């Protein structure tokens, strides 16, 4: 079957002429964006093959994230795709449009729960209509699953972080059998861990906790020959091909270790791989592939499958590498307690990269910056890699109009500053967050890992810590001295953006009446709200009401920087000492609750802008060109513009896991 989303000749000509339609479509609260791969044609054939093989490895694991997110996701996805492919009835009706919107929301989120808000999508079309679609297309789907889809009270939230509802019993994520409790998991890993272990493995990172017949619990490991065997077998197949065209021995060695890890499921091998990967800094091509981030696990153990394939942006990387070279200066001058500072910041590498392909938890919704590995002891001893996804950031900027800025900034001065410096401010914030923020600070001796001590608040506090490091230094003349920004107006633009987003704009991402659940959103509101509350006496940030609209305006940027420094000191203390109660109080008091009147106002203001709050991406298509002998002579890039067709293509070509119906 050929690629179903090939661009038209007119579109190809636009790309050649430097024109490109970044925004593909909008539906519900989502916009679909396209991104380009600058410089791909300048790669050697060997490098192009490496990019292609790594992209195929990532896409081969795509089914895994669907199953991790919810136990019936694959069955639902297959049913929806079968209907879309085969339905021959009326496609102009309101119900069909509602069905397609529902289906595309599920494609976007890799499952039936919102990728950010975590709440289950409830169909706006009738159950009777859905049953007729299944019948007309001879599509099979278990009645129990159908009932769950339409039941607003069943499996409501993918990730629940409210301990009163039960972190696991209140979550629909498929990392645990449905009846497993948080207390059982805690007891299980307490027995496995050695509290004196200096280099602990990431317990639980690559397994599901299941209930045994005798009532006990155990792990099903994700590996070749184990759980997710068929998908991981294909992942390994493409990784072996990547080994054959690796750019250097260090890169080759890391890939071989990753293959061993997938074949054995050995978490010590995962650590070996991460050490080798973090040390392999030469070459133009890099990648992320594995069970990586733990945000989707309410207990913070299990990693979601993700893949990002990256090509170095040499000019931008050279400009921004200055941060990594000065990492020790930033650590030494941090406002945190001296005992919480690293004496020797090791191996922080930073690059701006252009994404060539994404899959799993990184697609369609993607981060704009990444800092790995996550293991604290590896970071301290061997360093880490930080990247900003340059072409992704550029595509977001191209697809985003000035509407939000004009709506939520109170004065022309603020709007003009944002227009002039906003993009650079955002890039610097991301770079500081990833390179300096995540790499800074250290735990006190004998303190367990943050997921052990801070539990369900660990992710929000860590993201808050990294944000605060960035914010503190964005108003430091050192960045001007290093040539990273022309003057402190860039820092002011960053502060304006952060406070406005944390207190106002991000509320557009929450449904009416709900509190904040997602860790990054909690972190942003916690910081902005804490700074606002603690600056009230000196009117550091002023809440203004203008013609019925609320704005937050910074009156004193210098004092706000001091407040950010004070909060950074406290958040680092909480992490360094494992102070759960203080961390819980900070997040719950400042980061979770929402002013419902203000929330409704924000939703009304955004509705008039017709601008979707979330964005995700259609991936470019990498296509091998072969000669008569079957040898690959080139890899071509095509830029599809139809989200539905790409999702159907992926469903046809990368469905390797059995469906539980």
For 195-212, what is each residue's pLDDT tens digit?
778 899 999 999 999 999
Model confidence pLDDT, tens digit, residues 492-512: 999 999 999 999 999 998 888
Report how far residue 86's alpha carbon sits from residue 109's, in angstroms, rounded to the nearest whole number.
23
- Do the strands 30-34 and 614-618 form a parallel or antiparallel pair, or are they unpaired? parallel
CA distance linking residue 502 with residue 509, whole number of Å: 12
Give me the pLDDT at residue 1, please: 27
Say what the pLDDT of residue 18 is. 55
**CB within 8 Å of 570: residues ≥ 6 apart:** 582, 586
Q: What is the pLDDT of residue 267?
A: 98
Q: What is the sign of the dihedral through the CA atoms of 259, 438, 425 and 25?
A: positive
The answer, yes or no, to whether residue 111 has pLDDT greater than 70, is yes
Residue 134's pLDDT is: 98
pLDDT in the model for residue 660: 77
Write the CA distances from 332 to 170, 296, 479, integer angstroms: 43, 34, 15
**For residue 163, is pLDDT > 90?**
no
For residue 375, with 0-12 CB atoms within 10 Å meaning exposed, 13-18 middle and 19 or more buried, which class applies? buried
Q: Taking the C-alpha atoms of 86, 87, 92 and 93 in order, what is their torsion angle to the nearest 10 degrees?
A: -150
CA angle in degrees (0–180, nearest 5) for 176-179-184: 75
Query: If you average pLDDT over residues 105-127, what whole number do you get?
Result: 96
Residue labelled with tokens 């200066």: 329
Whose tokens are 């296509």? That residue is: 623
More confident of the two residues 318 and 1: 318
Confidence at residue 239, expressed as pLDDT on a 0 to 100 scale: 98
- Kindly state the tokens that stand for 503: 């207190």
Q: Could you give the CA distance from residue 305 to residue 294 in angstroms, rounded to a whole number?
A: 10
Across 9-18, 312-321, 327-336, which has the greatest mean pLDDT? 327-336
Does the pLDDT of residue 8 top 50, yes or no?
A: no
Contact (Cβ atoms closer than 8 angstroms) between residue 379 and residue 392: no
Tokens of 36: 């380009």
Provide the strand spans (E) within 279-395.
285-291, 305-312, 348-360, 369-372, 384-389
pLDDT at 199: 93
What value does the mean pLDDT take over residues 581-607?
96
Closest CA to 437 of 331, 526, 335: 331
Mean pLDDT, residues 163-186: 95
- Asked if pLDDT for residue 7 goes beyond 50, the answer is no
With 0-12 / 13-18 / 19 or more C-beta atoms within 10 angstroms meaning exposed / middle / buried, residue 184 is middle
Which positions ≥6 away from 239 have C-beta within 8 Å?
53, 54, 57, 255, 258, 259, 262, 289
Q: Parallel, antiparallel, or unpaired for β 621-626 and 632-638?
A: antiparallel
Q: Please, what is the average pLDDT of the chain?
A: 93
Nearest CA to 458 out of 469, 443, 436 is that of 443
Q: Which of 559, 566, 504 is nearest to 536 (CA)?
A: 559
Is residue 17's pLDDT more than 70? Answer: no
Coil, strand or helix at 219: strand
Which two tokens mark 131?
Answer: 């049953």
Q: Is the distance from CB of 599 to CB of 512 less than 8 angstroms?
A: yes
pTM: 0.82
Q: What is the pLDDT of residue 314?
A: 83
pLDDT of residue 5: 39
Work out the pLDDT band at 164, boundaries 50, 70, 90. confident
Helix (H) or strand (E) holding 369: strand 369-372
pLDDT value for 277: 97
User: Which pLDDT band, with edges at 50, 70 and 90, does 421 fall under?
Assistant: very high
Q: How far apart are CA 595 and CA 238, in angstroms?
A: 50
pLDDT of residue 347: 67
Ramachandran assignment for 602, one of left (phi > 0), alpha (psi -120 to 50 degrees), beta (any other): alpha
CB 282 within 8 A of CB 439: no
Q: For residues 103-131, give the mean pLDDT.
A: 97
> Looking at residue 177, what is its pLDDT?
97
Whole-angstrom distance, CA of residue 337 vs CA of residue 402: 41
3 state SS of 641:
coil
**Nearest-CA neighbor of 20 among 30, 28, 12?**
12
Task: List CB contacts of 599: < 8 A, sequence separation 6 or more.
Answer: 507, 510, 512
pLDDT tens across 293-325, in order? Answer: 999 999 999 999 999 999 999 888 887 789 989
């Amino acid at each position: 079957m050929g690629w179903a989303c090939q661009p038209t000749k007119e579109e190809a000509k636009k790309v050649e002429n430097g024109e490109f339609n970044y925004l593909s479509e909008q539906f519900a609260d989502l916009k679909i964006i396209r991104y380009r791969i600058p410089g791909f044609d300048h790669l050697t054939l060997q490098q192009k093959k490496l990019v292609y093989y790594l992209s195929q490895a990532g896409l081969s694991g795509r089914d895994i994230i669907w199953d991790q997110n919810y136990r019936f996701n694959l069955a639902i996805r297959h049913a929806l795709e079968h209907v879309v492919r085969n339905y021959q009835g009326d496609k102009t009706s309101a119900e069909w449009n509602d069905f397609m919107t529902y289906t595309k929301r599920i494609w976007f989120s890799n499952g039936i729960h919102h990728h950010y808000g975590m709440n289950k999508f409830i169909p706006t079309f009738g159950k009777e209509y859905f049953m007729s679609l299944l019948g007309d297309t001879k599509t099979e789907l278990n009645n129990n699953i159908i009932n769950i889809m339409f039941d607003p009270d069943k499996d409501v939230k993918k990730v629940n972080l409210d301990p009163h509802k039960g972190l696991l019993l209140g979550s629909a994520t498929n990392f645990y059998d449905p009846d497993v409790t948080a207390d059982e998991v805690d007891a299980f890993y307490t027995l496995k861990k050695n509290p004196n272990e200096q280099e602990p493995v990431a317990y639980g990172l690559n397994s599901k906790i299941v209930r045994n017949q005798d009532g006990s619990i155990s792990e099903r490991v994700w590996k070749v020959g184990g759980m997710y065997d068929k998908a991981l077998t294909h992942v390994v197949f493409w990784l072996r091909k990547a080994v054959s065209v690796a750019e250097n021995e260090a890169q080759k060695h890391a890939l071989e270790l990753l293959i061993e890890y997938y074949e054995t499921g050995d978490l010590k091998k995962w650590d070996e791989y991460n050490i080798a990967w973090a040390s392999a800094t030469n070459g133009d091509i890099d990648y992320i592939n594995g069970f990586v981030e733990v945000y989707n696990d309410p207990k913070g153990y299990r990693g979601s499958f993700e893949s990002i394939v990256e090509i170095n942006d040499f000019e931008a990387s050279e400009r921004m590498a200055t941060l990594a070279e000065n990492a020790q200066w930033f650590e030494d001058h941090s406002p945190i307690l001296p005992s919480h500072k690293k004496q020797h910041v090791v191996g922080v590498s930073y690059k701006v990269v252009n994404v060539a392909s994404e899959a799993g938890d990184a697609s369609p919704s993607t981060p704009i910056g990444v800092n790995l590995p996550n293991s604290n002891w590896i970071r301290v001893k061997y360093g880490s890699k930080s990247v900003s996804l340059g072409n992704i950031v550029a595509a977001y900027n191209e697809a985003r109009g000035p509407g939000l800025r004009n709506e939520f900034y109170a004065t022309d001065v603020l709007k003009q500053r944002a227009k002039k410096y906003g993009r650079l401010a955002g890039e610097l914030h991301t770079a500081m967050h990833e390179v300096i923020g995540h790499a800074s600070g250290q735990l006190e001796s004998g303190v367990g890992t943050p997921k052990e001590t801070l539990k369900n608040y660990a992710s929000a506090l860590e993201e808050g810590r990294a944000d605060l490091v960035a914010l503190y230094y964005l108003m430091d003349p050192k960045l001007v001295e290093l040539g990273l920004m022309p003057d402190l107006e860039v820092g002011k633009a960053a502060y304006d953006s952060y406070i406005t987003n944390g207190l106002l704009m991000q509320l557009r991402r929450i449904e009416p009446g709900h509190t904040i659940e997602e860790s990054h959103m909690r972190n942003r509101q916690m910081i902005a709200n804490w700074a606002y509350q603690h600056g009230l006496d000196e009117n550091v940030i002023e809440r203004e009401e203008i013609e019925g609209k609320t704005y937050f305006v910074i009156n004193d940027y210098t004092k706000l920087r001091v407040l950010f420094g004070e909060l950074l000191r406290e958040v680092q203390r909480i992490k360094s000492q494992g102070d759960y109660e203080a961390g819980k109080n900070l997040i719950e008091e400042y980061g979770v609750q929402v002013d419902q009147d203000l929330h409704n106002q924000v939703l009304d203001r955004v509705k008039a802008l017709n601008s979707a709050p979330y964005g995700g991406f259609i991936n470019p298509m990498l296509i091998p060109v072969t000669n008569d002998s079957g040898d690959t002579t080139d890899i071509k890039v095509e830029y599809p513009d139809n989200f539905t067709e790409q999702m159907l293509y992926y469903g046809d070509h990368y469905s390797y896991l059995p469906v539980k119906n």
